[in-house]
Structure formats: C-alpha cells, structure tokens
A and B are shown apart, each in its own frame.
Chain A
Amino acid sequence: MNIVTRLLLELQEMSLLSARAVGGLFRKPRYIPETVAQMDSIGVGSLTIILLTGFFTGAVLTLQTYPTLESFGAVSQLGYLVSISLVRELGPVLTALMVTGRVVSAISAELGSMVASEQIDAMRALGTDPIRKLVAPRLIALVITLPLLTLIADVVGIAGGWAVSTFMYGLPSAMFTASVRDGITTDDIIGGIVKPLVFAFLMATIACHKGLKTEGGTVGVGRSTTSAVVTASIIVIIADFFLAKALQVILGTQ
C-alpha cells in the first residue's frame, strides 16, 4: 500500500469510528458513569498543567511585548494584545497540545494495552461494544472538558499578563483591564470555544483509533501511543489554521 492509500484508509477508519461512537449515544445502554469518570480524569486531572501553562504563557507574552509596545508608545494597548492572542490562538492551541500530551497518550496507551491483553476481544465476547463502552465516553468527556480547560487557560493567561505588567513593568492595573475589556469581542470568544470543540473531537478520535489499532504486544502499545501523540499534535496545529480561516469567513472578521 502506498502512503496515499494508507492515509485515506486511516481517515476512513477514523470517520467510521467516530460515527459509530456518536451514533451509539442515541441508543441504550448509555454509559453516563463512565463519561463522568472520564471527565474527572481528563478535565479535573489536567487542571494543574493548564493553570501553569496558561499563567506563564500570558506572563511571558507580556514580558516580551511590553518593551516593543513601549517603543511605539502603545502600552495602553497591552491588555488588548495579550487577551486577543490568548483567546484566539494561544489558549486553544496550547491547551489542546498540553491535553494531547497528557490525555491522548493515556487513552491510546490504555486502549492499546487492552487490545494487547485481549481485553477488547473479551469485552466483545461478553456482548459489549467497546466503541460505545470505551470510545464514546472518552470522546464526549474530551469534547466537554477541552473548551472549559481552554477558557480557564485564557483567564489565567490574562491574569499572568496582568501580573507581569503590574508588578514588573509598573503599568497601572486599570489601564490593562480596560484594554482587555475594550479589546475582546464576542466573535473572539466564539472562535475560542469552537476551536477546542473541534480539536477535542479530532484528538479523541485519533487517540482511540490508534489505541484500538494496536498490533504486536507491548512494543505495539508504545508505537501506537507515540503515533497518537504525534498525529494529534500535528492535526491540531493544521486544523487551527483552517479553522481560523473558516471562522474569519463565517464571522466576517477578516
């Protein structure tokens, strides 16, 4: 098989997987406790890394841009710059990448070792569809929690920017907050929520697909985990560009 056929085949398998996972949501049994447990481990579990990432991204952004803005005499726009960068781009993408590192790897490793130890086969043999029992709860949990995590990263990031500008550069606190308030529009916020929704869907599908396709025992688990993280990270960054363009067109903000 050449690389194009393989890519198309993977794409087809992933589409089928996500279609079956979503299709299963409308029939009983529904796995609500599993979904809640996944939301806890994915969402609450990722809170620390997201708080740290968000805060320091906002902080370093301010640290680096303040001198430039100062040379233009535009420090009053600092809050605008920091919040727009975070809400539109850095928040969604960095959160998605951090969660990819933590959650996508965990999901594909978990499902991969279940394949390697025949637990997936055992589940099917016991009459339970692993796509509905394992894939759907993870997909839903990620789609719900990633936008929330992004929102938290945005807020904490702006706080980080504020902290640096106030305590290190001595910018009046009110000037920063005012420019944040004036700068951000509803469209920015919509874009900042739509992106993580799409990212989460892609990340969960890739993670589950790679995990369930594991072949060749424990070595295979390692391979599929690496492949899931790499693929998901790249796809997030590529999808970010096209989503940004699409949102510009849809919301008419170009």
Chain B
Amino acid sequence: MMTQTSIDRPETQAPDHRVSDHAAESTFRETDDSDRAIPSIEFRDVTMIYDDRKVLNNLSFKVMKGETKIILGGSGCGKSTTIKLVLGLLKPDSGQILVDGEDITHYSEVAMMRVRKKIGMIFQEGALFDSLSVYDNVGFKLHEQGVPEEEVEGEVRRMLRFVNLEEAIDKLPSELSGGMRRRVGIARALVGDPKIVMFDEPTAGLDPPTARTICELAMKLRDLEDVSSIFVTHEMNNLDYLCSEYAVVNEAGEVAFEKEGEKLCLINSKVLMMRDGQVIFSGTDETLRKADDKYIQKFLRGH
C-alpha cells in the first residue's frame, strides 16, 4: 500500500498524494477517494494516419489524477497530435480515448465542447488572439459564457496574478515578449480551474529563467491544485525540474520549491517517451536515465 506524507498547505484542500515517503517519521494517511482509480486521461491503442503515414501507432497510456505525464520525443513523433486528440481537435482513425473515464472518441463537436470545459490547453506559441487585449484573451471563455463583467475582471486578475503578469492586463499580444505570451496563454487556459491541463512545448524558444518560471507554474498546478497534466517537451531541463522538485506553501504562506531527497520521492511525475508514433519508454525519470536504449541515451545526452 502506498503511504503519503501530508504537507501543510493552508490555501488548498486538494488531497495530498504527490509525495511518497521512504522515512517513517511522517504522518501516514490512507488514500481515501475511490475515484482516483479512474485515470484522467486514457489512450487505448490509438492509431492516427495522416497522408498514408502513421502519426500514432497503437498508442496506449494513462494519466492518473494529479499526475503529470511528461511526453518526450523528437520533432514530428506525434507529441502535439496526442494532446490535440485529448481535446478532440483531431479524431483518431482507430482506438479509444477516455477523459475521466468517459469515452470521447466519437463525440461530436457539440458534445466535445462540454468535455473541453474541464481541460485547459497551453499552445506552443501561446496562440493568443491577436486582435484582443490580454484582458479579453484571458477572459475569453467567461465572456463567451456571458459572465457579468465584474466577475470576469476578478477572475482575469486572479489568473494573471497566478502567472505574475497583472501589470500586462491592458496590453495587446503584439506588445508582449515570447515568455509573457506563453504565461498569458497559461492564464487563459486556467480560467475555470480545469482539472486537466495540457502543455504543448511551453518552453520552446524561451530563455532558461523564463523556461524555469513556466515549469514552476506547472509544478504549482500539480502540487498545489491537484491538476492532472500532460507536459509535452523536448527540453531536458524541463524534465529535471518537474521530476525532482515540488511546490509547497511555507510558513510565510509563500510558494516555495523543494528538491526531492532522502526523505521524499516524487511519484506524481511520470515520463513517456515517443518515437515515430510509438511509446518506447514509460516510467519514472530515474529508470529513464538508466535505460540502455541507444535512442533514449542519445536523446538524454544530445549525442
């Protein structure tokens, strides 16, 4: 049976499941809620053919509740396709896709709209609406739902504070830097507090400190908000951050990031490595580093 530590988190009530402990001194607690057994996202033998090329070939994997699945792989291996399938932006040629245990494979566009409400998606370049200000971008979903303006403003400000960009509220996307656009994209995706979030290469083309900021946001979501996510990337430092650090709220009420060590070992980040539309590795980062597959080693070391 899995045992867990509890970490003092005054601001959130999300169940604590992210850290398993090797040491005996921590508080023990049983896993209580049974619906955690249902994966947030499940792919069953998904195949996708595009112009006679198999973009995905019998892809199967699960993302459990509160888990971050880091999908690694070279360009064109089907990573982005995978997350677009979860949102129903593309349809598979065969296989099944389940979101929260619900088979969405054959959902129509109208039925998909309901499923999409619980999923947040962060696109590669942010994909902000050029013609709308940051405020309207982040508040887009709420405006579409006809939420009163005061509520929209409160929510937009809360989300921009989360990504630390409140001062950019009246700017247009063209006035923002690449990293800021990505962060606005994150804020927009998180409106409505989705429990599933997809990151499509969120740090590609960003400088290391900004990339780190984006990873910290992903960790905050994972550890403090109990969000399940798929994090597509091909940058190894993202893997290092997400698999070895976790976010906690310290005594001062601030979010801090701690490294896993002797006492705690992160169990809520898993790695999936893809090549040519197939899974070539699935497991933790430790086992990934020990894998003797030549391609994996080349990918990890860059030569």
Interface residues, chain A, CB within 8 Å of chain B?
A: 29, 117-119, 121-129, 133
Contacts and interface: CB of A to CB of B under 8 A. Distances in A.
A13 to B, nearest CB: 14
12 contacts: A117-B127, A118-B123, A121-B89, A121-B127, A124-B87, A125-B123, A126-B116, A126-B141, A126-B188, A127-B113, A128-B140, A129-B109
Contact of B125 (A29, A118, A128, A133): A118
Contacts of A124: 87, 89, 109, 116
A144 to B, nearest CB: 22
Contact of B124 (A118, A126, A133): A118
A12 B185 CA distance: 35
B89 A126 contact: no
Contact of B123 (A29, A121, A127, A129): A121
Nearest to A131: B109
A234 B80 CA distance: 38
Interface in B69-128: 84, 87, 89, 109, 113, 116-117, 119, 121, 123-125, 127-128
Nearest to A122: B127
Which of B89, B127, B130: most chain A CB closer than 10 A?
Answer: B127
B146 A29 contact: yes
Nearest to A118: B127
B119 A125 contact: yes
Contacts of B123: 118, 121-122, 125
B127 to A, nearest CB: 4
B246 to A, nearest CB: 28
B144 A127 contact: yes
Interface in B233-255: none
B129 interface: yes
Which of A121, A125, A127: most chain B CB closer than 10 A?
Answer: A125
Interface in B25-76: none
A117 B181 CA distance: 13
Contacts of B189: 125
Contacts of A127: 113, 116-117, 141, 144
Contacts of B117: 127
Contacts of A133: 144
A202 to B, nearest CB: 24
Contacts of B144: 29, 126-128, 133
Given A29-B146, A125-B119, A126-B140, A119 B129 contact: yes
B87 A125 contact: yes
A9 to B, nearest CB: 15
Contact of B129 (A29, A122, A129): A122
A128 B114 CA distance: 10
A125 B146 contact: no
A129 B140 CA distance: 13
A112 to B, nearest CB: 13
A29 B113 CA distance: 14
B129 A125 contact: no
Contacts of B146: 29
Nearest to B90: A121
A26 to B, nearest CB: 14
Given A29-B146, A119-B129, A119-B130, A125 B121 contact: yes
Contact of A129 (B84, B113, B124): B113
Given A29-B144, A117-B125, A124-B89, 10 more contacts: A117-B130, A121-B84, A123-B140, A124-B116, A125-B87, A125-B123, A125-B189, A126-B116, A126-B188, A133-B144
Contacts of B125: 117-118
Contacts of B127: 117-119, 121-122
B89 A125 contact: yes
A120 to B, nearest CB: 9
A35 to B, nearest CB: 15
A119 B123 CA distance: 9
Ordered nearest first, which 5 A-B pairs have the shortest CB separation? A118-B127, A122-B127, A125-B121, A118-B123, A126-B141
Nearest to B125: A117
Contacts of B119: 125
